[in-house]
Amino acid sequence: MKDLTPVAGVRSTFGTKGLAANVPAESDPLVTRLERRGALVMGKTNTPEFGAGGNTFNEVFGATFNPYDTRRNAGGSSGGAAVSLATGALWLSHGSDHGGSLRTPAAYCGVVGLRTSPGLVAKSSLTGFVGEGVEGPMARSVTDCALFLDAMCGFDPRAPLSFPPPDTPYQEAIQTPLAPRIGWAPDLGGFAPVDADMADHLARAMARLDQTGAEVEEACPALPNLERTYHQLRGFMWTANFAKAPKSLTRHFKPTLRDNLAYGLSLGAEEFAEAQLGRSLIYDNMRVFLDRYDVLACPVVGNMPHAQSEEWVREVGGQSLSGYMDWLRFAFLATTAGLPAMSIPVGFSSDGLPVGLQLIGPPRGEAKLLSVAKWIEEALGGPNGPIDPVTPSR
């Protein structure tokens, strides 16, 4: 389990010094649900402090490195989960996602990560009505991801946002995947920059899918005020989580986490209303778009994994970035619209680094999303097997 989710009797630190010795008496509802269904919790996986960041390191356990090149970033905030899969330490691994925290490490480590629809996987009720942050499965293949999602989903009255599982299990829904209709948005209509090597690799992957039988069209819906709306929603999330937190906890926060909270506290009622109206418009545009296409495909991130020692990359596609969330802009859409999304491997760069493709599905459309991902995985010769970590000599 990712170390943002309490497990009874197991040290659960949330990646922060203020909880370095925390051993909870009760497990999160997700943990108890999985254990009732036969899961064995093997341990906790590393995360940035309270999940804030796309680079997994903290002052409790240190840094997590990319197994394909141990000088590089493994992604975050579910970086430990992704590495546990890529190295074969675990078969299934739990993650969570607000700003790409499942999707980025899955892409950087060559595994599959699924950001679920709000309410599909019940979570604890402390901030249970805040639906932007969700739990989800990570695995080395789409089939394993579907299996894990079947075990994770289900109604739980302890969670305010919680829905029953689908009538057809996800494992069954992906048995006969059909060639999909894909709306391909290489930079989300100019919303996010992309490095040339990433753009070239993904363009080749999409051309191969088109040649294999998929119907691929370059298209993107209108996404008015997506950046502002996402940041407002994210700010309210941080405020809900930490506005009343004791100073014994917040005094340990790293600078980027303090900045997140300060921004949230600066927002008012007008911004709250603006965010809700803005996300509804984006949702409606995506709903119409996904009536025409099975999925929207776009990059997970705009760059290959950078040096782990650099908390966040400062430039992508020749564009200077002002903060770590600028680097993760491709994650904003699915989170803001409340749609399921996943990262699947689509090959390797010239340096041997994994490349991920993001797929965004229709409302509560995990079955269709997984089916499309399964078709793409088979078309491109996946899934990837586990590896031993690589430390280049140069």
Where in the sequence numbering do the catalytic residues fall?
A: 2, 77, 101
- Give the pairing of strands 295-299 and 181-184: parallel
Distances (CA, A) of 394 to 69, 360, 390: 11, 38, 12
How far is the C-alpha of 271 from the C-alpha of 275, rounded, in Å? 6
The letter for the amino acid at 90 is L
Dihedral pair phi/psi, residue 361, rounded to 5°: -105, 175
Q: Is 88 left (phi over 0), alpha (psi -120 to 50) or beta?
A: left
DSSP 50: G
How far is the C-alpha of 29 from the C-alpha of 37, rounded, in Å? 12
Q: Is the peptide bond before 77 cis (omega within 30 degrees of 0)?
A: yes
How far is the C-alpha of 4 from the C-alpha of 71, rounded, in Å? 25
Dihedral pair phi/psi, residue 322, rounded to 5°: -100, -10
The letter for the amino acid at 223 is L
User: If 0-12 CB within 10 Å is exposed, 13-18 middle and 19+ buried, where does residue 71 land?
Assistant: middle
Closest CA to 41 of 55, 30, 50, 57: 30
- 116-151: b (≥16 Cβ within 10 Å) or e: bbbbbbbbbeeebebbbbbbbbbbbbbbbbbbbbbb
Q: Residue 225: CB partners within 8 Å, gap ≥ 6?
A: 278
